[in-house]
Structure 1
């Protein structure tokens, strides 16, 4: 699969980038995508929720009333869950929602997401570029030149580029990641993928 390589100002370089069919042209596996996204979202949960149960409520331990003869149910503690202010039954406790996925399954999920973007023509390859100084205005100009302004974009770089990252940081619909930070959730969440030319080889080495 061949894709034109563009400059960041929107001009065509006249060169073509060859996208591997084993990454951008596979049969997508929706269940692998589901599991990888589910794991990503689960890992975002803090899991710090906590409710007090009857053993943790402060209150008197004196028996409220005699056991028999009142005509109502027996009651031994004001901390009982049936009373207002009592402990909660089986309340939430701090926990970790994360779970393990095999490395090959996660790779399959990312390849499936990349394949979907390639089939929908929502993938563009950019010649490697950098900004001398961080400039949000320049980043916006780049998106406008590529006709991607107003869209949720994900720029994938081969390595950290502080100038490019800082230029995009204030834009709510623009994200910049390196290849090793790539996730299935980010790929699917973006309307348009922008791949730097040097990132293509690293993506292949990571996923094949």
Structure 2
């Protein structure tokens, strides 16, 4: 699939880039996408949730009332889950939500996500995205030139550039990632994908 290359002013250059059909033109595998997104979100969870159970509650061990003759249910401890301030029954405990996926499956998922975006004509290729100094105003001008001010945008750069990351950091609905850390969730979560020209080959090397 051949696509034109835009400059930072939103104008088409004389250059064109061929996006590999093996990455941007396959039949999407929905289940692979589901698993990869599920893993990404699971890996974001800290798993530090915790509530106190009855054995961890500090309170009196005195029997609340006599066993018989009250006409109500038996009660042996103020720390019981049925009382206010008591321990929680079957409450959350710290756990690790991470799980592994086959590398081949993850590649299929990412190719599927990029193919979906390509079918929607949501992928743009940018000639270059390099800033000498961090400047949010400069990055905003690029968004305006590309007519992406009101869109949720994912910028994919070939090499890590701190100035680019810092320039986009405070802009709502805009995220910058390097080509080697591109993931299915970010691709699907964005409305438009802007790929730097030098990132195209990096993506092909990783996903082919």
TM class, shorter-chain normalised? over 0.9
> Pairwise mapping of residues 6-155 of structure 1 onto structure 2 (< 5 A)?
6-155=6-155
- How far, CA to CA, are the matches of 2:83 and 2:123 in structure 1? 60
Q: Deviations over 1:52-80 (max 9, x none)?
A: 11111111212223333433333222212
- The TM-score, its normalising length taken from structure 2, stands at 0.94
Quote the residue 1:182 is aligned against. Answer: 182
Q: How big is the shift at 1:91?
A: 0.9
Contact 2:129 2:157 in 1 (8 A): no
- How far, CA to CA, are the matches of 2:137 and 2:195 in structure 1? 20
SS at match of 1:14: strand
Unaligned residue ranges in structure 2 (runs of 5+): none
- How far, CA to CA, are the matches of 2:155 and 2:13 in structure 1? 19
- How far, CA to CA, are the matches of 1:153 and 1:164 in structure 2? 14
- The TM-score, its normalising length taken from structure 1, stands at 0.94
Unaligned residue ranges in structure 1 (runs of 5+): none
Aligned positions, number: 208
- How far, CA to CA, are the matches of 2:70 and 2:56 in structure 1? 28
- How far, CA to CA, are the matches of 1:135 and 1:65 in structure 2? 70
